[in-house]
Amino acid sequence: MEIEVVIPVRDKDYELFANCLRTVRRAKRDHVTVRVVDIGSKNNELYKRFAKAMGFCYKYIDYEIWNKPLALNYALKRTDADWFGMLDGDYLIEAEFFDVIADEIEDNTFLQCRGYDMPDIDFDVNNLCTYVDMANSIANHNMDSRPATDYGGFQAFPTKIGREVGGYDERFKLYGGMHHEMKERLVNYGLDMKRLHGDPIILHQFHEKWPSSNERFSEKEVEQERDRHRQIIKELEAGSRMYANQGQVWGEP
């Protein structure tokens, strides 16, 4: 079973991004392809060089704002893999991550991994390798689980079905919500969600909230966009819609 994992990025803190890719390279198996899709980063050459150094595919899309669904859909339309996965570029994954994922893949399902929040601490990513390393760190630092309504981190589903439902909803610009929206549509399609929490382990690295680190958009503007996302999800939860991006070409910059 082949799986392509896409890591979207736009002007992300380089240290967070590099730590993520180091753990992905450590965990990578022969049946896994990794693609970094950079959507409009100013430092794109830096991300490109590091992705290539890790042995990963890299694609730059010249786009004016953060549109994570577009980055994911670009790869979804072009992959040859049986399954399609999304990993946020601020997560660390354990060395056995893809072994566990391979064991969990079943027909008529999709996968969601719920992670743990790392506190603002100094750490060496080389000391967070195995399941035991990460489990001990969770215990030693009293790490909290990510919110129950957080469906980011890692998400994976059959490529054929992802394409059939129209990919990720490209109305979800700027910040969050697209994973939750996709989760609801995959459930409406008839897939069973397998939510993995603690096996495998994924750790969310501490960082400033996105609005605080972005000069182009105010916190008010981002919150307005998030309110719009919440309304779309609320309407979706109350209905049975399974398709997105209808009547438009999706996954094309």
Print pLDDT tens along the chain (253 aa). Answer: 999 999 999 988 889 999 999 999 999 999 999 999 999 998 899 999 999 999 999 999 999 888 999 999 999 999 999 999 999 999 999 999 999 999 999 999 999 999 999 999 999 999 999 999 999 999 999 999 999 888 889 999 999 999 999 999 999 887 678 899 999 999 999 999 999 999 999 999 998 775 444 556 677 777 777 777 778 878 877 788 999 999 999 999 8
* Strands 154-158 and 109-114, bridge-based pairing: antiparallel
Question: Alpha-carbon distance 119 to 115, whole Å?
Answer: 13
Cβ atoms of 4 and 81 within 8 Å: the answer is: yes
List the chain domain ranges: 3-237
CA 193 – CA 179 distance, rounded (Å): 13
Integer Cα distance of 47 and 38 in angstroms: 8
Question: Could you say which architecture CATH assigns to the domain 3-237?
Answer: Alpha-Beta Complex (3.90)
What are the Cα distances from residue 53, in Å, to 25, 57, 88, 176, 203?
10, 10, 19, 29, 23
